[in-house]
Amino acid sequence: MFLSANKVHAYFSGDCVECMACSDNVVRAGLTGKFIDVDTLLSMVDCTPTTAESQKLKPEVRSDSISSYVPPVKDFAVDRVCVDGNVSIAPQDSPQVIICTEGAGSISAEDGVTNITAGDVVYVVPQTDISIEGSCTLFSAYCQK
C-alpha cells in the first residue's frame, strides 16, 4: 500500500512493514496518549476519498523469491524476500535495512556471516553483494535510483 503525504492511516490489527520518507511533520490524529495537534491536523489532512484497492501497490516479481514494492516516489522501495534454501540479492546503490519477519537464516557478505531470526534487523552498506541461506521472510528497504 502507498499513501501519499497528508493521508491519515492507522493499524488496528495484524503486522505491517512501514517504510516512509524522511519527514519532520508526523502529526498524530488519535488513538494515542501522545500530543494531538488538532489545528495542524485539520489544516493539512487530505480527505479526498479513495478506495483501499487504489492504494495497493502491485509487486514487481523479480524472481521466484523476490517481489519489489516500488511506490510512485523516488524516496524508497521495499523488497519482500522469501528464502527457502539460498537467495542472492544484487547490490544496491544505497544502504539497505533488512528485517526478518519470519523464520531464521544467515546473511553472508564478503566481510562475514550474520545469523538472523524473526525480529532481527541488519544494515547493509551500499554496493554489497549478499546471499541469504535458510528458511525465512525478509523485507529490504532502500533508496531508489
> CA 129 → CA 18, 107, 108, 110, distances in Å?
24, 10, 8, 8
Catalytic residue status for 28:
yes
Given the residues 28, 70, 120, 128, select the one marked as catalytic. Answer: 28
How many degrees, rounded to 5, is the angle at CA 24 between CA 18 and CA 28?
Answer: 65
C-alpha 19/C-alpha 69 separation (Å) is 11
- The total of other beta-carbon atoms located within 10 Å of residue 13's CB is 5
Helix, strand, coil distribution of the chain in percent, nearest 5 = 10, 40, 55
Catalytic residues: 28
